[in-house]
Amino acid sequence: MIGDLSRSRVGKFLTDTRQFLTSEGVLKSRPVGPGSLLLTNCATVGIPVFSGVSGCIHDGFLLFEGLDPRVSDEYLFRLFEHLTPWFNAIAQTGTQANLNTGILKDLEVPMLPLATQAVLAMTLDALDSVAVVAERSLKAAASLRSRLLTKMLGGLA
């Protein structure tokens, strides 16, 4: 479910789901395995994620498989991540925002050499890791600050 992204996303990966299908439901669904590149195309549109689990998707996701060998899935993930605001701006509205497959079929992907795609993906992964550490440090500092203020000045209100 698209809602799983806000509950169970760790970095680039969807790590857990809350709903499960019966064996009959699986036969009528689109199975995906770990490492599958997905893009939300309904309601919350344009969010890329890699599946970190085996499961099935509904039509609120697009699955990218059998890609042109000149395009890595990591590069495509980062391109989609960059284009998320654009996807939101062009999504067809109705009851919910929606990206149709025509929009993605017409999308021109800049063809960088595979080595350049790999360097870009590794650099962005490294920056994401630094950002996670910095966010944790900032939260820890804010918590320490709050505890110190409460301990030292708590009785002055």
pLDDT in tens, 103-125: 777 888 889 999 999 999 999 99
Confidence of residue 150 (pLDDT cuts 50, 70, 90): confident
Q: Write down the pLDDT at residue 35.
A: 87
Are 17 and 56 spatial neighbours (Cβ–Cβ below 8 Å)?
no
Q: Which of 127, 130, 45 is nearest to 89 (CA)?
A: 45
pTM: 0.74
Can you tell me the mean pLDDT for 49-53? 85
Which homologous superfamily does the CATH classification assign to the domain defined by 1-109?
DNA methylase specificity domains (3.90.220.20)
Q: At what angle do helices 114-153 and 73-90 cross, to 10 degrees?
A: 70
Higher-confidence residue of 130 and 104: namely 130
